[in-house]
Amino acid sequence: MLDFENKKVVITGGGSGIGKAAAILFAQQGAEVYIIDINEEEANKTSDAIVNNGGKAVFHLCDISQQEKVKEVFQAIGTIDVLVNSAGISHIGKADTTSVEDFDRIYTVNIKGVYNCLHEAIPLMKAKRKGVILNLSSVAGIVGIPERFAYSMSKGAVTSMTLSVAKDYITDGIRCNCISPARVYTPFVEGFLKKNYPGQEEEMIVKLSKTQPIGRMAKPEEIAHLILYLCSDEASFITGCDYPIDGGFVKLNN
């Protein structure tokens, strides 16, 4: 089950966090993994870790907000079976405290970046009459989270794009779903806490963990397992869905 032998899997943001965990897991299941990332050092570490453990991985340095660069990468890859849109950035701010520069930055990466990859991947999948797309949304696109105005906007757009793609290409054999994680303990969270709460990291981890009914943040590997399943042949009847993976955050927080 969950066999990806002889399948090409493209993962944006595969150098760290959820993307890294997904890249490693797909490779363990036999996939030929293509990592697209702007962080060359971290992406090379992920690729090397996969190859050193007998897996197949190729890294492409690319800013997904640049359509021509994305086009070049997908043309180099040639054909793909699975696309995982994991790359994204966050932002803290309300509508009246978010600068136009930060708003545009969030839009350019989190929305346009996903669009750019969809724009290039879908024709390749249509040519094969088969393909799977998995987008990373967030609980921030489902419920109101304090001071996440631009980020929430971008993740709501990702969910909407998911539904549109699922509807438009269902007769082409393409499935498209998204998942909406709550807080996940990643290097991004570590860096954020170190920058904004120096000396209070442990205290803030406890505080953030308590916002989720299950009492902790998720591990990237837990998110990766859901991604793997939704992209597998075993999930062939699932399309046009958004799956919260949130430790009860959406339904159990009162």
Q: Tell me which residues are annotated as active site.
A: 151
What ranges make up the beta strands (E) of the chain? 8-12, 32-37, 56-61, 82-85, 131-136, 174-181, 242-245
Please give the Cα distance from 231 to 226 (Å, whole number): 9
Please give the Cα distance from 211 to 194 (Å, whole number): 19
Write out the H or E segment, with its range, that includes residue 205: helix 201-210
Q: Where are the alpha helices (DSSP H) in 86-129?
A: 100-106, 113-128
Please give the Cα distance from 91 to 102 (Å, whole number): 8
Residues 6+ apart with CB under 8 A from 164: none
